[in-house]
Structures are given as C-alpha cells and as structure tokens.
C-alpha cells in the first residue's frame, strides 16, 4: 500500500500490481469498500496482461474524507493518481458503488480512458423510467431511505454496522447482509471470495464510516455528469438475481449509455457475477486496447 498526497492536500491510499509494462486497469471499489480488489478480478487482469491500480475513495481506509463530495468529484483524484503512477491512458472498471465512479471517470477523462467496465453498478437515483429501490433487499431499502432523509438519519442508520463489518468473518457477513444475498451469492462468500470481502470491509471501515456515508449521500443526489458524456466503449455486466443492485439497474444503464455492450445474465447475483465471470470481463477490457 502506498499513499499519494493530492493537490488539495488530502491523501489517497493506492496499490498497483501486475506484469511490468502491462496496460493499467483502474478499479473503483464498491460501497463500502477499499483498495483491496477481489482476488479473482486481480488474477484475471494479470492473466490478461493488465496491471491493476486500486485505491480507497475519500473517507475509506487511510484516504482523507471529502464531505459533500459528488460522484463526479472522483475524477480529479483519479487524474492525479494516473499522473503519479505514469499512466497516460487506462481502462477503468467499477463494481457496485464503484460503477457510477467508473462512469464519471470515463465521462470526464475521455482522452485518458480507453474503455469502461461496470459490474453490477447502481443506476442514478432519479433515473427516468426506473424505480430505484424496486427489487432491492430490505437492508438496502432502509439504507437508501435513510440517505434520502439526509446525513443525520444516514449516520444513525450506519453506525451500528461499523463494529460488525470491520471485524466481520465471511460467516458474519452472510448474517449481517442476509436480506441482500440470494443463494448464489451466499455460496460465493463461503469460499476465498468471502475472505476478500471481509478484508475489504475491515480496511474500508478501520478509521470510520465517512467514506460509506459520503458514497450513499452522493448516490441519492445528481452525479454531476450525464451518461451521454460517456462515449468510450462501455461493458455492462448484471445478474438477474442481484438483491443489492437489481437487474433493472443494469438494463437501464445498458439502454442509456451511448456505446454500451450489455451482458445481462440470468442466474447470477451481485457477488457471483464478478467472481465467476472475471476472466471474460478482463479479456474484454484487454481487447479494447487492441480494437
């Protein structure tokens, strides 16, 4: 793990791994989340010849919080990080809550982003023709309901989860997030992916819940950019059994992104799709460099 001091004085934790000379895939983690990427995503990227650049968004891990941030505000942090590691261009990926941040990066850094991958990414809260909460598990309905009420209500809602998740085992995660996990996702958590998820939560929340709070508030506001700004090739992967980010979100994004390729897959959940389809996803991104 390394730390970058940003132009505004905040710090950003990041890591980079993979083959020397490989092109970079910048990975935007979920909510809550951190710079610890899924081992399946990381290994698949390395096998495809890509270096994986991960970071913890503002307020997660050791990255300084940025109260009031919008989704689009991640763009400046990403540009500084790419400059720091010497990556003039890259492909970007985002899972779950990382999806909107991935799209923001693609929208506002078109000269630096070759292609974008959205894995079970959330759609805009006020999306025309989409009822945001429909199909979500009860925990997410309650969480976004609190976010819509504002910061005090959301902080009150999230605080009890903080000690649970930053010390959680894979089995604890299944119990804590029970309303959000179809059987296909529960099966994934019992394997090595469960350890990845626990490690990710531990790092994300070790200092506090500010990153999680800031993410949720940003998702319930305008993202700060429009989807028609995303003109690079964009790959949307979404499972039909997802209870964290419902299938309709992936359908909506695929229909509203100008240059989208949709992989809307029956029988996959929120976690299982990234776990089981990582090789295909990374091969698709690597192929974008050769197109």
Q: CB-based burial of residue 267 (10 Å sphere; 0-12 exposed, 13-18 middle, 19+ buried)? A: exposed
SS3 67: coil
CA–CA separation, 90 and 188 (whole Å) = 29
The Cα–Cα gap between 204 and 200 comes to 6
Question: Which pLDDT score, from 0 to 100, does residue 12 have?
Answer: 98
Cα dihedral 249, 252, 254, 258 in deg (nearest 10): -130
Which pLDDT score, from 0 to 100, does residue 188 have? 84
> CA nearest 74: which of 50, 42, 48, 106?
106
Cis previous bond, 277, omega within 30: no
Number of H helices, E strands in the chain: 13, 8
Q: How is 138-177 classified by DSSP, letter by letter?
A: HHHHHHHHHHHH-HHHHHHHHTTHHHHHTT--HHHHHHHT
H or E element at residue 12: strand 11-17
Spatial CA neighbour of 117 closest among 242, 247, 291, 277: 277
Q: What is the pLDDT of residues 52-80, one digit of tens each?
A: 999 999 999 999 999 999 999 999 999 99
Residue of 226, 290, 281 whose CA lies nearest to 27 = 281
Range of the domain at 25: 2-290
Per-residue pLDDT of the chain (291 residues; tens, 9 = 90+): 899 999 999 999 999 999 998 999 999 999 999 999 889 999 999 999 999 999 999 999 999 999 999 999 999 999 999 999 999 999 999 999 999 999 999 999 999 999 999 999 999 999 999 999 999 999 999 999 999 999 999 999 999 999 989 888 888 888 888 888 999 999 888 777 888 889 999 999 999 999 999 999 999 999 999 999 999 999 999 999 999 999 999 999 999 999 999 999 999 999 999 989 999 999 999 999 776
CB-CB neighbours of 152 under 10 Å:
9
Distance CA(204)–CA(166), nearest Å, equals 8
Q: What is the CATH number of the domain that holds 214?
A: 3.40.50.1820
Q: For the beta carbon of residue 200, count every other beta carbon within 10 angstroms.
A: 23
Number of domains in the chain: 1
How many CB atoms are closer than 10 A to CB 150?
Answer: 11
Distance CA 229, CA 109 (A): 10
**pLDDT value for 34:** 97
Q: Report the pLDDT value the prediction gives residue 171, as an integer from 0 to 100.
A: 84
**Which residues, listed in sequence order, are joined to residue 236 by a DSSP beta bridge?**
118, 262
For the CA atoms of 217, 220, 222, 228, the dihedral, rounded to the nearest 10 degrees, stands at 120
| DSSP state for residue 240 in the 8-state scheme | T
Residues in the chain: 291
Which residues, listed in sequence order, are joined to residue 10 by a DSSP beta bridge?
none
Exposure string (b/e) for 246-261, b if CB count within 10 Å is 16 or more?
bbbbbbbbbebbeebe
Tell me the sheet residues that pair with 17. Answer: 52
């Amino acid at each position: 793990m390394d730390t970058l001091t940003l132009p505004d004085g905040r710090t950003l934790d990041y890591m980079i791994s993979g083959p020397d000379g490989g092109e970079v895939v910048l990975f935007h983690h979920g909510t809550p989340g951190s710079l610890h990427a899924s081992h399946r995503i990381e290994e698949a990227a390395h096998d495809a010849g890509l270096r994986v650049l991960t970071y913890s968004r503002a307020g997660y891990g050791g990255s300084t919080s940025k109260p009031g941030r919008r989704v689009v505000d991640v763009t400046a942090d990403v540009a500084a990080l790419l400059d720091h590691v010497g990556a003039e261009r890259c492909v970007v990926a985002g899972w779950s809550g990382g999806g909107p941040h991935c799209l923001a990066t693609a929208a506002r850094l078109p000269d630096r982003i070759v292609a974008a991958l959205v894995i079970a990414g959330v759609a805009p809260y006020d999306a025309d023709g989409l009822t945001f909460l429909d199909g979500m598990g009860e925990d997410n309905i309650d969480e976004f309901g609190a976010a819509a009420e504002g910061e005090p209500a959301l902080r009150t809602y999230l605080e009890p989860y903080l000690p649970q998740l930053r010390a959680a085992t894979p089995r604890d995660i299944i119990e804590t997030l029970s309303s959000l996990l179809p059987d296909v996702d529960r099966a994934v958590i019992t394997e090595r992916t469960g350890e990845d998820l626990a490690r990710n939560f531990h790092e994300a929340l070790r200092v506090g819940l500010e990153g999680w709070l800031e993410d949720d508030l940003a998702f319930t506001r305008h993202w700060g950019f429009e989807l028609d700004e995303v003109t690079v090739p964009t790959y949307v992967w979404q499972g039909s059994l997802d209870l964290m980010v419902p299938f309709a979100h992936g359908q909506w994004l695929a229909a509203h992104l100008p240059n989208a390729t949709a992989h809307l897959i029956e029988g996959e959940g929120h976690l299982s799709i990234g776990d089981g389809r990582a090789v295909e996803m990374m091969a698709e991104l690597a192929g974008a460099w050769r197109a």
